[in-house]
Amino acid sequence: MSNAVKLRADQLEIVRSGKKVLGGISFDVASGEVYALLGGNGAGKSTTLLGFLGLLPLSGGSIFVNDIEVGSDLKKVREAIAYLPESVSLYEHLDAYENLRYFLQLAGTPYDRSKVEAALDRVSLDLESRGRKLTGYSKGMRQKVAISLAILRDTEILLLDEPTSGLDPAAIDEFHDLVRDLASSGKTVLMVTHDVYGACQVADRIGLMQDGKLVGEFTAADGERIQTETVHRAFSDRHPKNPQVA
C-alpha cells in the first residue's frame, strides 16, 4: 500500500480572529510523497499545517490523517506526525542533546545517543556546538537541531514549516537530499516553503496557495518555465503596486 493517502484536506475552512483564513481547500498527500505548499505571506500555509495537527478548530470541511478524522483522536494523529514549527521552538537554557532528550521523552520516543549523533551529523551541526546551550546558536544552527528532532521522532508523516529558513545553500542541498531519502523510505512529507526552485527540486507535487485558497497544483514533471511564471503571478498579485509610485 505504498500509495495510501496519508494526509487529506477536504473543503477545509478555518477562521482565525474572526477572519476566514482558509476558504475551503482540498488536497491529499500519499505515503512516500513530498508535497510542497507555496504562496505569499499570509496565504494560509502555516494555518493548513496547524489544521492537520488539530491545533485550530475547523469552521468547515474535514481533515484526515491516516484516515482518522483529526478531531476524533488527537492523540493518535499527533503520534503519527513530526512537526517542525515555523519559528524554532526549543529551549534556550538547554544544549542540543538536552533539548532532543526532553522533547523525545515527551513524545515517548526512546533516546538513543548514537541515533542522536547520527541525526545531528545528518544536518551537519558542528560537533563542538552540540554540548553548548542554544543561547549561543545562530538561527540556522537552531533550525538544524529542530530538523534533527523531526527526523528522530521517526514518524510516518512529517509536517515541515519553512524548514530551510536560516540554512546556508550547502545545508539546503543536504536538507533536500535528506527529504528525498525520507520519502523513498516511505515517509510522507508536507512542507511549506518560499523557496520556489527548491520546491521544484524536492517536491513531487507543489500546491500554490493564495488568500486561503489552493489556486494551482503542479508536478515535478511540469516544465520549470510554466511553474516559475505562475508562481511569480501568485506572489505578486496579492500586492498590487501603488499606482502613484508606478
Partner 1 sequence: MKTALTIAAEEWRYWIRSKLALAVIALFAVMLVSVSWVTVLRMQAASAELDHHQAEAEETFVAQPDRNPHRMVHYGHYVFRSPVPLASFDPGLDSVTGQAMFLEGHRQNSATFSASAASGDPGGLSWLTPALTYQVFAPLLLILLGHSAVVREREARVLPSLLAQGVSGRSLMAGKILALLVFILLLLVPLGVIALLAVTTGESLMAAAALVGVYFLYLSVWGGITVLLSSAFSKRSSVIAALAAFWLMVTLVLPSIAVNVASVTAPLAGKIEMELAMLTEQKDLSDGHSVSNSQVEQLSAELFQQYGVNRLEDLEINIRGLLAQKAEEKLTLAMNAYADKRMASELRQTELLTAQGWLTPMIAVAAASRAISGTDMQHYHRFLRQAEELRYDFVQDINQVHAEQLSYVDDINRNRDEESYNRSRVDAANWQLLDEFRFDTASASSRLASAGTPIGMLLFWLAVLFALLTWTGGRLKP
**Interface residue list for Mg ion (CB under 5 A):** 46, 86
If the CB atoms of residues 46 and 66 are measured against Mg ion, the closer one turns out to be 46
If the CB atoms of residues 15 and 107 are measured against ligand ATP, the closer one turns out to be 15
The 3-state DSSP composition of the chain as helix, strand, coil percent (nearest 5) reads 40, 30, 35
Residue 71's nearest CA partner among 45, 49, 53 is 53
The residues in 55-114 that bind ligand ATP, with binding defined as CB under 6 A, are 86
DSSP state of 190: E
The owner of cell 529542530 is 146
DSSP state of 133: B
If the CB atoms of residues 88 and 206 are measured against partner 1, the closer one turns out to be 88
Residues 54-83: x/- map of binding to partner 1 (CB under 8 A)? -x------------------xx--xx-x-x
Q: Which partner from the list Mg ion, partner 1, ligand ATP, none does 41 bind, CB cut-off 5 to 8 Å by kind?
A: ligand ATP
Q: From the CB of 106, what's the least distance to partner 1, in Å?
A: 5
Q: Which of 71, 72, 92, 113 binds partner 1 (CB under 8 A)?
A: 92
Question: Are the C-beta atoms of 38 and 193 separated by less than 8 Å?
Answer: yes
User: What whole-number distance in Å separates Cα of residue 211 and Cα of residue 42?
Assistant: 7
Type of residue found at 33? E
Residue 193, φ and ψ in degrees, nearest 5: -155, 160
Contact segment (CB under 6 A) with ligand ATP among 42-50, 71-79, 115-123, 231-239 equals: 42-50
What is the grid cell recorded at 132?
553548548
Asked if residue 21 binds ligand ATP (CB under 6 A), the reply is yes
Residue 34's nearest CA partner among 6, 10, 74 is 6
Question: Are the C-beta atoms of 134 and 180 separated by less than 8 Å?
Answer: no
Q: Which partner from the list partner 1, Mg ion, ligand ATP, none does 44 bind, CB cut-off 5 to 8 Å by kind?
A: ligand ATP
Q: Which of 15, 107, 182, 215 binds partner 1 (CB under 8 A)?
A: 107
Write out the residues near partner 1 by the rule CB under 8 A. 50, 53, 55, 74-75, 78-79, 81, 83, 85, 87, 89-94, 102-103, 105-108, 153
